[in-house]
Amino acid sequence: MVIVYALAVLAGLGVVFGAVLAVAGKVFAVEEDPRLEPLTEALPGANCGGCGFSGCAAYAQAVLKGKAKPGMCPVGGAEVGKAMGDILGVVVEEQERCVALVKCSGYEGHAQKKYDYDGLSDCLAASRLPGGGPNECPHGCLGFGTCVKTCPFGAMSVKNGVATVDHELCVGCMKCAAACPRNLIVKVPYSADITVACNSQEKGAALRKYCDIGCLGCKICEKTCEHDAIHVEDNLARIDYSKCVSCGLCAAKCPRHLIRDARLNKEHDEPIPVSDSKWSDA
């Protein structure tokens, strides 16, 4: 009988606690916005973080809470932006497509090495070695492909010792930039024709000792530009894409041919086809 009473008491407690939990669930229930599920489903599910949030679901929640704007998904682009707008009942402005650019042109044969490295094939590990790694340039690409391993879209590769971007595959999520210990991967407009693929801030005399293609900070490009779109800051030429018209004059005058242009001889004002661009090889 003792066992029967014990079981009865346990069963009674179970019923009581179950009822309490059921009531508490209703009292403290947080109503979910009915738009959350369709909004999340409209996103590509890549969870790349390119929108600035940890994943698609987190981004959808942030949009509903007013903490983020719709249409910021770099993977889905305009199509996903429109779908989000339809769900929310708003018009979403199309965002300019951006892609990653590796600011280094120090291919094998152009940049000198201090020693041969035979350790872990990882840029962060190599950068922690004495002297900052095996390359003489303290600012350039280490070439061990950490960005390649990080890219979820197969847009990164290492060619001749330097990381490069296939801008047709790149969606601009910039996970590669976050993984680069040298901070030399930057976001640029997909339509950009003119690029400066160098990250060095050394003065020309110092740079010449270990790289025969890097920016010398000579300011010839700055003096040549008629649109105030390129300036030398900290011994490095930098482009303001809001002003650049892709005339190509700076590229034509660069003594090191570091500044790249898709087509220098522009016969008309039609947009340059992206397939003609050389900058993805920078």
List pLDDT tens digits, range 44-93.
998 888 888 989 999 999 999 999 999 999 988 889 999 999 999 999 98
What's the CA gap between 165 and 273, in Å, rounded?
A: 17
pLDDT at 24 over 70: no
List pLDDT tens digits, range 201-226.
999 999 999 999 999 999 999 999 99
- Given the structure tokens 């840029």, which residue do they identify? 123
- Give the phi and the psi of residue 44 in degrees, each rounded to 5: -70, -15
pLDDT at 181 over 90: yes
**pTM flag (> 0.85):** no
Q: Where are the domains of the chain?
A: 37-88, 98-281
pLDDT value for 154:
95
Please, where are the H alpha helices in the chain?
2-27, 36-42, 56-64, 77-88, 123-127, 146-150, 175-179, 204-207, 220-224, 249-253
DSSP letter (8 states) at residue 189 = E
Of the chain, the percentage scoring pLDDT greater than 90 comes to 60
Residue 235: pLDDT band (50, 70, 90) is: very high
pLDDT at 282 over 70: no
**CATH 3.30.70.20 corresponds to the domain 98-281:** yes
For residues 17 and 104, which has the higher predicted lDDT (pLDDT)? Answer: 104
Q: What is the mean pLDDT of residues 234-245?
A: 94
- C-beta of residue 70 within 8 angstroms of C-beta of residue 90: yes
pLDDT at 262 over 60: no
Residue 260: pLDDT band (50, 70, 90) is: confident
For residues 18 and 239, which has the higher predicted lDDT (pLDDT)? Answer: 239
37-88 topology per CATH: 3-methyladenine DNA Glycosylase II; Chain A, domain 3 (1.10.15)
Residue 19: pLDDT band (50, 70, 90) is: confident
pLDDT at 158 over 90: yes
Do the domains spanning 37-88 and 98-281 agree at the CATH topology level? Answer: no
57 burial class (0-12, 13-18, 19+ CB within 10 angstroms)?
Answer: middle
- Give the phi and the psi of residue 242 in degrees, each rounded to 5: -75, -15
- C-beta of residue 32 within 8 angstroms of C-beta of residue 39: no
